[in-house]
Each structure stands twice: as C-alpha cells, then as structure tokens.
Amino acid sequence: MNVIETSSLTRRFGDLTAVDRLTLTVDSGEVFGLLGPNGAGKTTVIKMLTTLIPPTSGQAKVAGFDVQRRAARVRAETGYVPQLVSVDGTLTGYENLLIFAKLYGVPRSERQARIAAALEFVGLGEAAHRRVGGYSGGMMRRLEIALAMLHRPRVLFLDEPTVGLDPLARQAVWQHLRSLAQEYRMTIFLTTHFMEEAEALCGRVAIMNLGRTAALGPPEELKASIGRPEASLDEVFAHYTGHELDNGGNIREISRTRRTAARLG
C-alpha cells in the first residue's frame, strides 16, 4: 500500500520553482530518502507533504488523504521532525512530550504509558525529568523523535535528521530510525544532504536537483545504472546532476544550519 503518493507536485515562490512536477510513491514500511544539496527543494517537499504549505499545482496524498482537502487527517497520521531543534529548553523532556501528547489528543488513559514508552525507545528514560536545555544535541534529536511518535503516526517525516550532530550521535539517531521502520513498520521519509546517511538508512532514494527529480531508485540500482556498481552515492549524484554535492545554499539556509548546530552544541 502506498503511504505517500505525489503526482506532478509543484510549488513556486514567485519566479522560483522550488519543486517542479515531483511524482513519486512511497510504500508502507519503506525508508525513503530525498537527497540533494541545500536549496534543491527538499524542505519544500516535506512542507507540502506535512500540510505546512499548499502546493501550487499537482497532488499529494499521505496515508491515503489528500494534503489539501483532508489536511487535518493527514496531520493526525503523520509525525514531523523539523530541521530546526524545536523542543523547548526551559521544559523537561517529559513535559515536552506531555504537551504534545495533549495536542495530538492521545487519550488520557494511555498518555503516561505512551510517554514512558517513547522516552524508553529513544533511551531518554533517565533524563526524562531534566530540563532539555541541559541535553546534548543527540539527546535533543532523540527527544524530537520520541515526540513525533507519541500519536503513533503511520509516516514520519524528518528534515535533515542529523544535521549538526557528531558521528556518534548520528549513529544513535540512525539506530532509532531503523528500529522504528523495522519493529513498528513505520514509513519514514527523510531529507538529507549526507550521502552516507542515505546509504545507511534508505531503501530507495530520489536525487533532487533544482526542484526536479534527477534519479530515483534503490542506492545499488542507481550505482549500477551509471555502469559502476562500486561507485559511491556521491559519484551517482555527480553523474545525474552534473555537479558535486557541496554544502552550498543561500545565506538563509546556511544561517539556519548554523543556528541548529549552535543549539545542538
């Protein structure tokens, strides 16, 4: 069953076409990666799929519901981890989860059990009653994941889930995402500009460049498609887009990434 379906999904900002006729499907339980440099339109795709911005044209369905006409249902069925670190530093980890459990309408009888389970799942049981301001970057990210799974969504959207994390913390986040997909069959849709991340997590990837899909398929197939199965994803990327994947991007994206990195310490 397709959990995500888009057809000719397009978003323009003035003259700029941020996402240009994106058509893709993501199967239930799949870990799907949207790969591309900053400014390729990845975040815009996620914002459309999570109902934060309406498409200019084209359609998208998430969990079987149209993102524009059934936005409330789409929101109830999805979890979202934004690129920015949005947990509140003044509150404890437990309190952050409590407020969102209430916002998502988790029934009172199940609230405490689900919060405890989510904290346990991401390994924050011990730190639950400490203020998030004192958490490490990796802990904050894990808390974000716990927060996004409280209402048992069918799809989890993550925008650059490990940007600004050190390699060890990154591994831990990957580990949790893998078990979400494997143990709970949650569909995971993530954006990344780390090739390594896509390799480590994703069953299929779409390579995005300037708003368009340059290539789509399992990493191995993409490598085979350029005639060199031993190639790295970086080389695949360069092959399809004609340029290297660098950390470019406009000043807003760079300052956002820096701000995230700064908050993660």
Partner 1 sequence: MKSRELDVPPPAWAEPAGAARATGGVAGFLRQALALAEMELRKLLHDPTELLTRIIQPVLWLGVFGEVFTRVRAIPTGQMPYLDFMAPGVLAQSVLFIAIFYGIAAIWERDLGLVHKLLVTPAPRVVLVLGKALSAGVRALPQAFMVYVLAWLLGVRVKWEAGALAGVAVIVLLGAAAFSTLSLIAACIVKTRERFMGIGQALTMPLFFASNAVYPVSIMPGWLKGFARINPLTYEVDALRALMVAGGHSLYGIGLDLIVLVITSAILTYIASLLYPNLAR
Which residues lie near partner 1 (CB under 8 A)? Answer: 1, 27-30, 47, 50-53, 72-73, 75-78, 80, 82-86, 88, 90-91, 95, 99-100, 102-107, 131, 147, 151-154, 182-185, 259
Task: State the nearest-atom distance from the C-beta of 90 to partner 1, in Å.
Answer: 5
Nearest to partner 1 of 247, 255 (CB atom): 255
Nearest to partner 1 of 64, 249 (CB atom): 64
Nearest to partner 1 of 40, 101 (CB atom): 101
Task: State the nearest-atom distance from the C-beta of 231 to partner 1, in Å.
Answer: 25
Q: What is the secondary structure of the chain as a DSSP string? A: -EEEEEEEEEEEETTEEEEEEEEEEEETT-EEEEE--TTSSHHHHHHHHTTSS--SEEEEEETTEETTTTHHHHHHHEEEE-SS--S-SSSBHHHHHHHHHHHTT--HHHHHHHHHHHHHHTT-TTTTTSBGGGS-HHHHHHHHHHHHHTT--SEEEEESTTTT--HHHHHHHHHHHHHHHHHH--EEEEEES-HHHHHHH-SEEEEEETTEEEEEE-HHHHHHHTT-TT--HHHHHHHHHSS---S---HHHHHHHHHHHHHH-
Nearest to partner 1 of 152, 212 (CB atom): 152
Task: State the nearest-atom distance from the C-beta of 261 to partner 1, in Å.
Answer: 14
Task: State the nearest-atom distance from the C-beta of 238 to partner 1, in Å.
Answer: 30
